[in-house]
Amino acid sequence: MKKLRILGLLFVAFMFSASISQAQIIVKIKPKPPKAVVKPPKPGPKHVWIAGHWQWNKQTNNYVWTKGHWTKPKRPGTTWVPGHWNDTPNGYKWVPGHWKNHKKPGHKPPPHPVR
């Protein structure tokens, strides 16, 4: 019974932390235009440039610049979709960047195993 209670508390803590990390960022102040930067040399043929962006800092109530960087895709067949600020009726909402999967023409996902 004690183990079940501990597992339950761990699950609640995990779900709470997951919901915090997914919190939306909405700011009333318009973000500055992106900085013009010179990219450093590409370290390898598979690397992708993740552009820098303005990030809101709650402590200073101001935007701070997050530098761009080179990285390799997490999985083959993915493309980086940059994050951006959307102008909404409530303020400027941050939409985080993410890796997008590409489906090959005629590609069918493998069938689900029958259980």
How do the domains of the chain map onto residue ranges? 26-101
- 20-28 average pLDDT score: 71
* Rg for the chain, CA atoms, rounded: 20
pLDDT at 94: 94
For 63-97, how does the pLDDT look when each residue is reduced to its tens digit (9 = 90+)?
Answer: 999 999 999 998 889 999 999 999 999 999 999 99
**Strand stretches in 30-89, DSSP E:** 48-50, 53-57, 62-66, 69-71, 78-81, 84-88
For 88-99, how does the pLDDT look when each residue is reduced to its tens digit (9 = 90+)?
Answer: 999 999 999 999
Range of weakest confidence among 9-13, 14-18, 52-56, 58-62 = 14-18
pTM of the predicted structure, to 2 decimals: 0.64
